[in-house]
Amino acid sequence: MGRTSIAHRLRLAFLVMSVLTLAVGALCISRMHELNQATAKIAGHHLAKVRLAQTGVRKVHENGRSALHLFLIRDPRTFDEELAEQGATSREISEIYAQFEHLLDADDERALFGAITAARARYRSTRAEAEEVLRTGDRQRALTKFEHEVLPALDEYIDDWDVLLELEGRRANEAAVNAATSYARARAVTLALTGIALVLGMGVAFFVTRLITRPILAISDAATRLQSGDLAARADVSSNDELGTLAAAFNSMSEAVAFRHERLAREMNLAQHIQTALLPRTFCVAGLDVTAAMNPATEVGGDYYDVLPVHDGCWIGIGDVAGHGLNAGLIMLMIQSSVAALVREDPDRTPRALVTTVNKVIFENLHERLVLDEHATMTLLRFHDDGFVAFAGAHEEVLVCRAETGRCEAIDTPGTWIGAIDDIAAMTSDSSLRLAQDDVMILFTDGVTEARNAEGVPFGIERLFGAIEGARGLAVETIRDRVLDAIAAWAPQPDDDVSLVVARYTGPVV
């Protein structure tokens, strides 16, 4: 089957609409031309008869006035001149008769014209007789004959012309009305034909538009469903044109997206499994009740915490790798394994020494092997069973809720990122704090304080203080859950991992 392009369809639709428009235009022009010709012919015909009738009436009046003047003149020498003038008028009337008779096209017109002809004959006959009497010199008898015979014949003659003029005027008005009616009818037909042409044109345009937009809408709908997460979305377009090619390309892309998404999902599931599998499951530290939890976000994050028991206490680590995804999970795994190995090798080294060594390992792995420009924050704490805690490394503040006051205090963690530069010894120092019996120490990642509600307001350190202080006398597991519940209520869908370590000092080990 041949390939039909969208441009070809558009050209075809344009051609059809042009032909329809030209046909309707030609029909309308032809109809209006015929109407104009017919109207002009009818109007001219009736107008000519009306004008002739008006001229005839006027000439008859002139002839009658001249006849009256002829019978009233006193000087016989002008008699012949008057007769000559009347003869000219009579010839003009005869010409009008001939022209009018040629235009007669109705029986009633012919009947009236016959009556006029008869009245004219009577008028001319009685007038001729009166003129003969006048020539004999018997003016009185001529005037009597003129009054009793000529004038009635003249009145009848003029009345018949008036009736004919009235008839022709009526016919002219009827012709004008008929012309207006025909024009209105022709205009209605023209408008109807124009409307039909517009409807047909709109139908063709709608058909072609649907023909083109239907596959576009199918592709758009499939793209919308794919964007919303429907990986099975496909564009059902089978046209053999550019849109069919586009739909085929989109479907191929959708299949590739679905494949990559499934593979990425498997990788993410694996990474999340590794991330959570490496977290400590039990906590057994002399002098310290410890619990912890991490609520991962939708993507694999880089939160890290660990509790490593040693002979006189434990090491506690808390950290956060910048970013999300597999790289963050991988860096977190490297930090966890490095810290665990170094603690087992020498549990008595200082936090500063441990942090600087971990930094060298992470820096070498990131910049020389993985070629990644990443970093992490991390604080390592060495807890002794007498309540002394030494720590080093930059991360969020260490919070201590004092049993004596019931209030929280925030202790800074000076230092710098790990993995950014190869040697951080000059910027890393040991710091310390001391826990009294029943003091609660809380370690957290930035996902806790930066969790935002629907208005974009972060949870913040003050709300965290309030949640801790409100549950300070309860078990560490309850404190942990109260804090996590408060965060979840504030931000049901956090953008970052939420990690929390809660430890209560139970006193020196005897």
- CA–CA separation, 363 and 375 (whole Å): 8
171 has pLDDT over 90: no
The first and second tokens of residue 490, run together, are 């504030």
Domain ranges across the chain: 6-203, 279-505
Q: Measured between alpha carbons, how far is 89 from 112 in angstroms, rounded to an integer?
A: 22
pLDDT in tens, 248-305: 777 777 777 777 777 766 766 766 666 666 788 888 999 999 999 998 876 666 889 9
pLDDT band at 354 (very low <50, low <70, confident <90, very high): very high
Provide the pLDDT for residue 71: 56
Top-confidence residue, 123 or 152:
152
| pLDDT band at residue 158 using 50, 70 and 90 as cut-offs | confident
Contact call for residues 458 and 450 (beta carbons, < 8 A):
yes
Task: Please answer whether residues 413 and 394 qualify as being in contact, where contact means their C-beta atoms are separated by less than 8 angstroms.
Answer: yes
CATH of domain 6-203: 1.20.120.30
pLDDT reported for residue 1: 43
One fold for both 6-203 and 279-505?
Answer: no
Q: 279-505 adopts what CATH topology?
A: Phosphatase 2c; domain 1 (3.60.40)
Percent of the chain scoring above 70 in pLDDT: 71
What pTM was computed for the model? 0.55
> What average pLDDT does range 209-234 have in this prediction?
74
pLDDT for residue 75? 47
pLDDT at 398 over 90: yes
Of the candidates 109, 485, 440, 425, the residue with the CA atom closest to the CA atom of residue 295: 485
Residue 292 is classified by DSSP as E
Model confidence at 384, pLDDT cuts 50, 70, 90, reads: very high
Residue 233's CB is within 10 A of a number of other CB atoms, namely: 19
Rounded to an integer, the average pLDDT of 316-345 is: 89
Q: Does residue 506 register a pLDDT over 90?
A: yes
- Highest mean pLDDT among 103-112, 116-125, 489-498 belongs to 489-498
